[in-house]
Amino acid sequence: MDWYENLIKPEWTPSGETISLIWRILYPIILVSFGVVFVQTFRRKVEWKTACPFLINLIANILFTPILFGLQNLLLAAIDVLVVWVTIVWMIVAIWNYSRLIALAQIPYLVWVSIATYLQLSITWMNW
């Protein structure tokens, strides 16, 4: 964390506690909605092409912390968070015809990742 704390960041950067709280709210939404999509996919009620952005998003989301804090690679973290953002939009579009509730449940996730993406791109740019 010392490495991250010493990076140049925008003045509006949320505190670690705020970021942690937001993820504690979002992770249950992600768990339930992704779980429903994957279970319905295995039951063949949702096509794999619809579940694909959920799977890519899950992998990219999981990889963000090791990339940023383990590898300490700002550019790769910026690319990763862009993948997360794009796949959320893709998820909403892909699942809309199957479940509008699951699609709408992704809106808070999209809002937060939009902020986090802008933050990560800003940090990457400021420390380039």
HEC assignment per residue over 79-105: HHHHHHHHHHHHHHHHHCCCCHHHHHH
pLDDT in tens, 52-75: 999 999 999 999 999 999 999 999
- pLDDT confidence tier of residue 37, bands split at 50, 70 and 90: very high
Is 8 contained in some domain?
no
Is 2 contained in some domain?
no
Is 119 contained in some domain?
yes
Is 96 contained in some domain?
yes
What is the C-alpha separation between 95 and 54, in angstroms, rounded?
10
Q: How many domains does the chain have?
A: 1
H or E stretch at 110:
helix 107-126
What is the percentage of the chain residues whose pLDDT exceeds 70? 100
Query: 35: domain range?
Result: 16-126
φ, ψ of residue 46 in degrees (nearest 5): -125, 135
Is 3 contained in some domain?
no
Helix (H, G, I), strand (E, B) or coil at 9: coil
Is 42 contained in some domain?
yes
* CB crowding 41-51: b at 16 or more within 10 Å, else e: beeeebeeebb
Region 99-128: mean pLDDT is: 98
Mean per-residue pLDDT of the chain: 97
Whether this model's pTM surpasses 0.85: yes
Region 2-27: mean pLDDT is: 97
pLDDT in tens, 20-36: 999 999 999 999 999 99
Which residue is associated with the tokens 């973290």?
77
pLDDT of residue 1: 77
Whether 84 shows a pLDDT value over 90: the answer reads yes
